[in-house]
Amino acid sequence: MTSSGAEPFSLLVLDSTAYTHLRGGDRTVLELVSEAEIVIMPATVVGEIEASFILAPNLSENRTALTEFLAEPFVQVHPTTAEVARHYAEIFCHLKRAGTPIPVNDIWIAATAIECRGSLVTFDWHFKLIEKLQCIVLDEP
């Protein structure tokens, strides 16, 4: 596990990989979520997860689990706002100028994390390319 920022992770932002590992019982993700005061799910992440459910054989079970998780009092879905869009533009342009593009949805996710001032939990190393983003990049088990 690597992270940037020295503060405790009281506000976490989960990406799709972190949610998948959480559902799979990953101990590190479970521990981080259980210690957080607030867990943010960007609307982009919810969309990615919903799309994966449609492609999976157990749509109903997966959707029920997500609905129950999102109903937890410490979990919030964060919408894509004008401020998130401004952060998106800055990140996108920085990465393009640096010649280090990453998937577009991941830029939206990072923009949401920056807007919320949370620490993004992910298994995708490319988030480390984004300045101003506090992130916890976990290693696959």
What own/partner pairs with CB < 8 Å and gap ≥ 24 does 128-136 have?
128/2, 128/4, 129/95, 129/98, 129/100, 129/102, 130/91, 130/94, 130/95, 130/102, 131/94, 133/4, 134/3, 134/4, 134/5, 135/3, 135/4, 135/110, 136/1, 136/2, 136/3, 136/9, 136/12, 136/32
Q: Domains (ranges, CATH) in the chain?
A: 2-137 (3.40.50.1010)
Task: Provide the token pair at 110.
Answer: 């990072």
User: Is the pLDDT score of 123 beyond 90?
Assistant: yes
CA–CA dist 5, 133 (Å, integer): 9
User: Is the pLDDT score of 3 beyond 50?
Assistant: no
Q: How confident is the model at residue 40 (pLDDT cuts 50, 70, 90)?
A: very high
CA distances in angstroms from 92 to 19, 86, 116, listed in the order given:
24, 10, 18
Percentage, residues of the chain above pLDDT 90:
89
Q: Which residues pair with 78 in a beta bridge?
A: 42
